[in-house]
């Protein structure tokens, strides 16, 4: 499962990084704790828009 990290997770990924992780790890740990969100098309668009607005 592809996720977008919302916070740095030691040994897994940094904030804003998109990475493939085990589905169980994502669903049972990362997503419930707010450490990551699923890398859906809409979430990717939101992330791109947020990055674009931060550049200004």
How confident is the model at residue 55, as a pLDDT? 76
The CB density around residue 4, as the number of other CB atoms within 10 Å, is 19
pTM to 2 decimal places: 0.87
Dihedral sign from CA coordinates of 9, 6, 20, 52 = negative
Domains of the chain: 2-55 (3.40.5.10)
Residue 53 has pLDDT above 90, yes or no: no
What pLDDT, in 10s, does the model give residues 7-49?
A: 999 999 999 999 999 999 999 999 999 999 999 999 999 988 9
């Amino acid at each position: 499962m592809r996720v977008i990290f919302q916070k740095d997770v030691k040994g897994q990924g940094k904030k804003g990084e998109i990475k493939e992780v085990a589905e169980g790890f994502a669903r049972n740990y990362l997503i419930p704790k707010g450490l990551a969100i699923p890398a859906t098309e809409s979430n990717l668009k939101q992330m791109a828009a947020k990055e674009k607005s931060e550049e200004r």
